Amino acid sequence: MRASEPGDPAYQLWLKGQGVYTTNGAVLAVIKKSAPERSDPDLFIFALPGNFHGYYRGYSQDTERTKNYLTWAILSVVDAVEFVRDMSKRNSDIKQEIIPGKEVQSAEQIAQFVKDNAWGHHASCSNPMGPASNSNAVVDSNFRVHGTKGLRIVDASVFPRIPGFFIVTPIHMIAEKASDVIIADAKNGVV
């Protein structure tokens, strides 16, 4: 069943401005710099109601069943763990930290915990776009792989650097650009 079909009760609620489709699930989000000298924020921290440990089949149902948990999802560095801990200390409703837990306290221990447990599903930048003169560049601005013919890469790997906290919108943008480039090249007989 597609979301917009009449039999979808969540869609019917959405039409009224209600229900699960009206939220991304986060109850709070913080965007901040890990250091004042940074030009742009590098920390994205958000709170989710439930016990969230990552993505796997059935994760959303498991998260929904654990309403007495609050998960802080942290994108980036050790400073964010310390920031969240400081915020949590101020809230008497938060009874216990489960992960990383009270045994992980020093900056070194937190750094090791992050190194050992960090995960992500927004991989990017392994085939960066740039001119052939750049030894790190893999594809040109038309998504053609340098030194080949008839091969292009159109995915998050072409970003020269990570384009923000969530990369889905930039991926849609490069896909649109790539489709325009590929169609134009096909019309002009370019491989």
pLDDT in tens, 56-99: 888 877 877 777 888 888 877 888 999 999 988 888 888 889 89
Q: What is the pLDDT of residue 132?
A: 96
Domain endpoint, select from 66, 83, 117 = 117
Selecting among 121, 122, 146, 172, the annotated active-site residue is 122
Q: Are residues 135 and 184 both part of a single domain?
A: yes
- Asked whether the beta carbons of 51 and 62 are under 8 A apart, the reply is yes
What is the model's pLDDT at position 1? 43
- Note whether 95 and 147 are same-domain residues: no
Q: Is residue 63, in this structure, part of any structural domain at all?
A: yes
Mean confidence (pLDDT) of the chain: 87
* Percent of the chain with pLDDT strictly greater than 90: 45
CB atoms within 10 A of CB 52: 19
| Domain carrying residue 180 | 122-191
Say yes or no: 111 and 127 in one domain: no
The pLDDT, as a whole number, for residue 12 is 83
Residue 10 lies in a domain: no
Q: What is residue 167's predicted lDDT score, i.e. its pLDDT?
A: 87
Residue-level pLDDT at 182? 95
Active site residue 122: yes
**100-142 pLDDT, tens per residue?**
999 999 999 999 999 988 876 677 899 999 999 999 999 999 9
Q: What is the pLDDT of residue 4?
A: 54
pTM, two decimals, is 0.62
109 lies in the same domain as 142:
no
Q: How many domains does the chain have?
A: 2
Domain end call among 98, 117, 136: 117
| H-state helical runs in the chain | 9-15, 59-64, 78-89, 107-117, 168-187
CA distance 22 to 69: 21
Tokens of 161: 């650097």
Strand partners, 169: none
